[in-house]
Amino acid sequence: MQTQSLVGGKWIGADDGSTLAVTNPATDELVASVPCGGAAETGRAIDAAWGAFKPWAARTAADRANLLHKLSSLMQRDTDRLAKLMTLEQGKPLAEAKGEIGYATSFLDWSAEEAKRLNGEILPASAPDKRILVLRQPVGVTAIITPWNFPAAMITRKLGPALAAGCTVVIKPAEETPLSALAIGELACEAGFPDGVINIVTGKPAEIGGAIFEDPRVRKLSFTGSTSVGRMLMASASKNLLRLSLELGGHAPFIVFDDADLDGAVAAALACKFRNAGQTCICANRFYIQAGVYEEFAAKFATAIGGLRVGDGFEEGVHVGPLINDDAVTKVESHIDDARAHGGKLLTGGKRVKVDGRADRFFAPTLVGEMSSDMLISREETFGPVAPLARFDSEQEVIELANASEYGLAAYFFTRDGARTMRVAEALEYGIIGANDGGPSTAQAPFGGVKHSGFGREGGKYAMDEYTELKYVSWKL
């Protein structure tokens, strides 16, 4: 297990020797201690990234692509080890953690191929003796700040396109899950990335962020996390006019029309809501079911939820692991209490689950009926395993309900009507739409939100725009 920060190709501790404890959310046991770095360590990481930037950008695209593919294949080789590490520090079931490693490597491979297609253009000029060239160049040193819910994939989704474009990076992983990041760093060294191209600093968020915002050599920040932190980062980024990609919170509506394939919708709802114990930015947070199928959907969904097993992520057959910390459990409880106080009906779950010898952080997958717009859960992200259901009558009504949110990350709907599919997809004010699909995430698609869910897109060719600048050359012959 790698437990040091990576700066300029060297593994280092914090200057003052201080450390940050990484604990297993399922047991509260200490997993490891990592450096509690701050401004000084981040400054040296930026020095290293700055020093490595020009030589890295000058390499051929094929050369950068080969290294990205190499990192991907090393991660695939070590899937079991990386997945165990992830379950240890994050809690998600081992099978899900393995799936995340595959998802994480898909971003490296896709970006590697995009590196080779990063074309410029020659435009028709307005004078016979002129030529207009448009060059695409890397933005420069890039800061990457990632969350704890997907400790590997949220790094590679940014790292892949940044490196493919020719940027060098300073990564600050979440305090809860630095070990996955450091393991990826170690494999990057094995793959042969030059020193300074990838730097990873673990430690104090405010100090690390401060050093990033104060240093004019950093030209870009890519962040995934909460909307409240995103707002603060955006304010701080104004000092050096840092380019930003912000993938922030969500509050996804999940709509089931009465002509939908109900069994398909239930299966999608189960996967979409309860993956990672509901701790996913794009997971469904509020369900709108057309009145004619409400009772049937609720009954089928409750039965399916009853088949989910809660437990330690290392146990065979477990579907739902622990929540990340005590605050997360408290928030889930407060949403359920508030829903019940406002007339919500508990259909299944609703309480903590005792798992022998484990921390009190396991929560039963929960279904609440009769959601109304005065409930907290109808407007706030729960980030936990709770599905609230509301009835609706018409298409127009449900589009208005779905769009009545400050968030705009993902939305889902289920129908067999082709024309409605297009109408509703166009009308929903969200960056990602799952039409009869509860799992839209994939490496080639543009992932990102609108409104208070942020801006910028990750994935596919679209991600390359986030890490490149256009330069216009007006050439007089």
Give contact residues for ligand SIN (rule: CB under 6 A). 149-150, 224, 247, 280-282, 441
Closest among 256, 222, 241 to 142, alpha carbons compared: 222
Q: Kindly state the helix (H) or strand (E) to which residue 317 belongs, with its residue range.
A: none
| Minimal distance, residue 91 CB to ligand SIN, in Å | 15
**Residues 6 or more apart whose Cβ sits within 8 Å of residue 196:** 8, 9, 48, 49, 51, 52, 168
From the candidates 89, 186, 247, 380, give the one annotated as an active-site residue. Answer: 247
| Minimal distance, residue 456 CB to ligand SIN, in Å | 13
CB 364 within 8 A of CB 349: yes
What does DSSP assign to residue 88? H
Q: Is the Cβ of residue 166 or residue 431 nearer to ligand SIN in the bound state? A: 431
Closest among 332, 346, 344 to 382, alpha carbons compared: 332
CB 222 within 8 A of CB 145: yes
Examine the residue annotation and report whether 281 is marked as an active-site residue of this protein. yes
From the candidates 167, 281, 380, 466, give the one annotated as an active-site residue. Answer: 281
Q: Count CB-CB contacts under 10 A for residue 352.
A: 15
Cα dist from 399 to 93, 175, 249, 405, whole Å? 35, 38, 20, 11
SS3 of residue 174 by DSSP = coil
| Minimal distance, residue 102 CB to ligand SIN, in Å | 12
Q: Is the Cβ of residue 120 or residue 439 nearer to ligand SIN in the bound state? A: 439
Sign of CA dihedral 287, 293, 297, 298: positive
What does the alpha-carbon distance between residue 94 and residue 316 come to, in Å, rounded to a whole number? 8
What does the alpha-carbon distance between residue 151 and residue 172 come to, in Å, rounded to a whole number? 11
| Minimal distance, residue 430 CB to ligand SIN, in Å | 13
Closest among 162, 163, 144 to 154, alpha carbons compared: 144
Q: Is the Cβ of residue 266 or residue 282 nearer to ligand SIN in the bound state? A: 282
422 CB-contact burial (10 Å; exposed 0-12 / middle 13-18 / buried 19+): exposed
Please list the residues that pair with 277 across neighbouring strands: none
Q: How far is CA 237 from the centre of its chain?
A: 21
What does DSSP assign to residue 453? G
Closest among 131, 110, 109 to 122, alpha carbons compared: 131
Q: Is the Cβ of residue 125 or residue 445 nearer to ligand SIN in the bound state? A: 445
Q: Is the Cβ of residue 150 or residue 392 nearer to ligand SIN in the bound state? A: 150
| Minimal distance, residue 453 CB to ligand SIN, in Å | 10
SS3 of residue 346 by DSSP = strand
| Minimal distance, residue 280 CB to ligand SIN, in Å | 4
| Minimal distance, residue 283 CB to ligand SIN, in Å | 7
| Minimal distance, residue 99 CB to ligand SIN, in Å | 11
Q: What is the DSSP string of 14-67?
A: -TT--EEEEE-TTT--EEEEEE-B-HHHHHHHHHHHHHHHHHHHHS-HHHHHHH
Q: Is the Cβ of residue 57 or residue 435 nearer to ligand SIN in the bound state? A: 435
What does the alpha-carbon distance between residue 6 and residue 173 come to, in Å, rounded to a whole number? 12
| Minimal distance, residue 136 CB to ligand SIN, in Å | 26
What does the alpha-carbon distance between residue 163 and residue 57 come to, in Å, rounded to a whole number? 9
Q: Is the Cβ of residue 24 or residue 224 nearer to ligand SIN in the bound state? A: 224
Examine the residue annotation and report whether 167 is marked as an active-site residue of this protein. no
Q: Kindly state the helix (H) or strand (E) to which residue 391 belongs, with its residue range.
A: strand 386-392
Which of the residues are catalytic? 247, 281
